Structure 1
Amino acid sequence: MPQLNPSPWFAILVFSWLVLLTIVMPKTLNHTFPNEPSHQNTQTPKTDSWTWPW
């Protein structure tokens, strides 16, 4: 049975991992987002309680 011979499948596995780690990963890690997240204000605004007229 040819599927039990590991030599061609192991070479394909190693080659695909080398391509992934050398080409795809650096391109993905160098991606920059156009809108950088900004820090939100941690202070809570002072709110007055509502005085109902009734």
Structure 2
Amino acid sequence: MPQLNPNPWFAILVFSWIIFLTIIPTKIMNHIQPNDPALITSKEHKNNSWTWPW
């Protein structure tokens, strides 16, 4: 039974995991995020008191 012979399939498994763990993450991490977070100046909000009608 050829599917029980691990010689070609183990090498394919190892090389595919090497590709997944080395090449693909570096390509993904090289992308630039379009919306970089910017620092927002902190403003003090004016809190008006609410006069209750009763």
Counterpart residue identity of residue 33, structure 1: Q
Give, in whole Å, the separation in 2 of the partners of 1:43 and 1:6: 66
Deviates more, 1:40-49 or 1:24-33: 40-49
Q: Alignment identity in percent?
A: 59
Residue 28 of structure 2 aligns with an amino acid whose one-letter code is: T
Match of 2:16 in 1: 16
Q: Point out where structure 2 has 5 or more consecutive residues left out of the alignment.
A: none
In structure 1, distance between residues paired with 2:52 and 2:41:
30
Residue 47 of structure 1: aligned partner: 47
- CA RMSD across the alignment: 2.6
Give secondary structure in 2 for the equivalent of 1:28: helix
Query: What is the aligned length?
Result: 54
